[in-house]
Amino acid sequence: MERKDFLFELGTEELPPKALKRLRDALRDEIIKGLAEAELAHNEVEAYATPRRLAVLVRQLQTRQQDRQIERRGPAKQAAFDADGTPTKALEGFARSCGVTPDALIEIETPKGVWMGYVMHQPGKAASELLPGIVETALNRLPIPKRMRWGAREAAFVRPVHWVVMLLGDEVVPATLLEHAADRITYGHRFHAPQGFALRSAEDYLPTLRQQGFVEPDFDTRAVSIAGQAQALAEEAGARAVVERDLLDEVTALTEWPRALMGSFDETFLEVPPECLISAMKGHQKYFHLVDGQGRLLNRFITVANIDSRNPEAVRDGNERVIRPRLADAKFFWDQDRKQPLEDFLPRLKQVVFQRQLGTLMDKVDRLENLTVKIGRELGEAVALCERAAHLSKCDLMTEMVGEFPELQGIMGRYYALAQGEDPRVAQALDEQYKPRFAADTLPGDGISQALALADKLDTITGIFGIGEAPTGDKDPYGLRRAALGALRIMIENNLNLNLRALVEASLKQHDAVDYSDTLRDEIVDFMYARLRTWYLEQGAQVEQFEAVRAVRSDYPVQFARRMEAVRRFAELEGAEALAAANKRIGNILKKAGKVDTRVNPELLQQAAERDLWAAWQAMAGEVEKAVQAGEFIAAIEQLATLRPAVDAFFDQVMVMVEEPALRANRLALLATIKGAFDRIADLSKLSV
């Protein structure tokens, strides 16, 4: 079967930079899906994206589908002919539907008897016939929230379309997509090579754009180039460029022929907190900032032009002129905000609605003061500092700086608090209340910060749940899933032995708009543990391990985490499978028995195996209890695991459900005692180890 490279390129006005990678990947994936459905084999599929184009290059695409033999089954043989052997109307009708006479039909042997049938030969379609539909379907399925139309055209896409290239080998695939006829003409850089280039074949695509068009079509290659250029310029200046992935992707999506340049700004701006300057450079101008060997911000930046300028100095000067007023604004905000104490911004919170039913930001602060103090007390922190941190927690939201740069909330609270002489731990809490801000973010490291961060997250979760706005499907406008996992991670990773159910209850009761109920409280706790389930599964835990621990219904997340460690350790022990199976067997026996008295009478232990099991349990009961009380669940489960030989012998030699009531009850009590010990750690019967 002949194979050729296939190229599809869509040329557009500048595409949304933050969506470019997603569009590229979606187009590739949809075309791969379409080729699979059409049964067209191929080698690797390469996807390309620049501000002005999306392209997919399919290597060695099968140029025609394989021919297929299609077997159609008609009536059963006994219903196909009458007593004289004449075809029945059922058979004649089936033959007509196949386009043949009855004598062309065949017999098909099946386990249920003989059926009449017909084998049709279906020739494969040419790829050139199928590709337009495959590509059109892929374009229609792209994740574009809002499509636009331009001019008098009816076609709709994320941006106006200017050209379409579709080549199978060296031949144009006849097609019209988005009201543009497919051709072999592509276009280079808007300024360096605006003229069209005729591609001889699909395999000429990359070398033509790179050598004649001043375009690097591969997104990842451009990103590597930009990062490399930035670091090389920084090293020449004895510095390091901070190239963050999100900003790098955005700059990459803005350029087709990236060229990095270094610029500078007045050193006096370094008096402003570095985060403010960095936000101005990143957010407004898409610059990479530079730091010295100690990580201190320097008065230099890297800008990336989308052109090989004949006068790079002019480009550099232009960027330096543009950034100066941005930095001047940041300095102005910094100076203005410090002219009054942070607390003076507090009354303005009364004018800002947190959520219509839950009140203003000032109402939220009042709730945070109570809940932060409660949590702080449990952590052994100073009440006054906890109350002060909560009191000032949202003040920086009203400052000029955060109004201009919302991503600096908390960060500026810390700077302003330190500037006015607040306790450093209070200042730190103003910043760390929002941690973790994202998946890989650090957690609050100080007790006051932890108390405020937990209070803030719990207040939002309980309030939104309380007014009936819990997340549904993929919709989570208030970020409750992130808040829930953040709160749990703070408790677990900082080893805070806090009662989650009690904290949720306390938080719920502070909302005037919420009717408290134990059912609502438990719903929120279950929601939070569901987030923990996802987190553990992402770390490699098994669903059954999580469910085994969740069955204990622990209200303390830190103890839940220790139990998870114990269960995962148990799975590695020799004989774990047999012991889990025994727990399941014990559970089934006890379930059938109904209510069981757990008091064991040693005098009724008649057989050696049941006496040995009781003796083995008695020998370790004290140490197991001590370990469980101390939260040392790994030590407890390792001790309990040594019961396996005695448990195995018990089931081999002892009949539990005997006729004599007292003897039966005593053996059930022994099993209930053993299972009860395991159940304090996890329900091992849920494991299939």
Sketch the domain layout of the chain as residue ranges: 3-65+126-211, 68-122, 219-337, 343-540, 572-686
pLDDT digits (tens, 9 = 90+) for 35-52: 999 999 999 999 999 999
- Using alpha carbons, list the distances in angstroms from residue 649 to 151, 621, 665, 683: 85, 19, 19, 22
Where is pLDDT greater, at 33 or 475? 33
Q: Tell me which CATH code domain 3-65+126-211 carries.
A: 3.30.70.260
Residue 246 has pLDDT above 90, yes or no: yes
Q: Tell whether the torsion through CA atoms of 617, 619, 625 and 630 is positive or negative.
A: negative
* pLDDT reported for residue 576: 80
Q: Which residues of 446-469 are buried (b: 16+ CB within 10 A; e: fewer)?
A: bbbbbbbbbbbbbbbbbbbbbbeb
DSSP bridge pairs for 9: 55, 165
Residue 429, burial from CB neighbour count under 10 angstroms (0-12, 13-18, 19+): buried
User: Sheet holding 113-122: strands in order across?
Assistant: 68-76, 113-122, 106-110
pLDDT digits (tens, 9 = 90+) for 475-518: 899 999 999 999 999 999 999 999 999 999 999 999 999 999 99
Where is pLDDT greater, at 104 or 444? 444
Residue 685 has pLDDT above 90, yes or no: no
- Using alpha carbons, list the distances in angstroms from residue 334 to 89, 349, 402, 406: 92, 20, 10, 14
Q: Which amino acid is at 500?
A: L
Protein fold of 343-540: Hypothetical protein af1432 (1.10.3210)
Q: Would you place residue 654 in the very low, low, confident or very high pLDDT band (cuts 50, 70, 90)?
A: confident
Instruction: State whether residue 256 is helix, strand or coil.
Output: coil
Greatest CA separation found in the chain?
A: 110
* pLDDT reported for residue 440: 83
With pLDDT > 90 as the criterion, what percentage of the chain qualifies? 75
Tokens of 76: 């059963």
Please write down the long-range contacts of 662-666, taking CB distance under 8 Å and 24 or more positions apart: 662/601, 662/604, 663/604, 663/606, 665/596, 665/597, 666/600, 666/601, 666/604, 666/605
DSSP 39-94: T---S-EEEEEETTEEEEEEEEEESBPPPEEEEEEEEEHHHHB-TTSPBPHHHHHH
Q: Which amino acid is at 199?
A: L
pLDDT digits (tens, 9 = 90+) for 298-355: 999 999 999 999 999 999 999 999 999 999 999 999 999 999 999 999 999 999 999 9
* pLDDT reported for residue 579: 82
Residue 1 has pLDDT above 80, yes or no: no
Domain 572-686: give its CATH superfamily.
Isoleucyl-tRNA Synthetase; Domain 1 (1.10.730.10)
pLDDT digits (tens, 9 = 90+) for 381-428: 999 999 999 999 999 999 999 999 999 999 999 999 999 999 999 999
The arithmetic mean of pLDDT across residues 549-568, rounded, is: 92
Residue 69 has pLDDT above 90, yes or no: no
Neighbours of 646 (CB within 10 A): 18
Average pLDDT, the chain: 93
Residue 688 has pLDDT above 80, yes or no: no
Rounding to the nearest 10 degrees, give the CA dihedral for residues 454, 456, 462, 463.
Answer: 180
* pLDDT reported for residue 574: 79
Which residue do the tokens 């480009």 mark? 315
pLDDT digits (tens, 9 = 90+) for 449-478: 999 999 999 999 999 999 999 998 878 999
CA–CA separation, 475 and 375 (whole Å): 30
Where is pLDDT greater, at 121 or 487? 487
The arithmetic mean of pLDDT across residues 182-186, rounded, is: 97
Tokens of 427: 């200042």
Residue 99 has pLDDT above 60, yes or no: yes
The helix or strand, by DSSP H or E, that contains position 304, with its residue range, turns out to be strand 297-305
* pLDDT reported for residue 689: 55
Look up the pTM and report it.
0.82
CA–CA separation, 96 and 75 (whole Å): 13
* pLDDT reported for residue 587: 85
CA–CA separation, 49 and 167 (whole Å): 18
Q: What share of the chain is helix, strand, coil (3-state, %, to 5)?
A: 55, 15, 30
Which residue do the tokens 């990143």 mark? 282
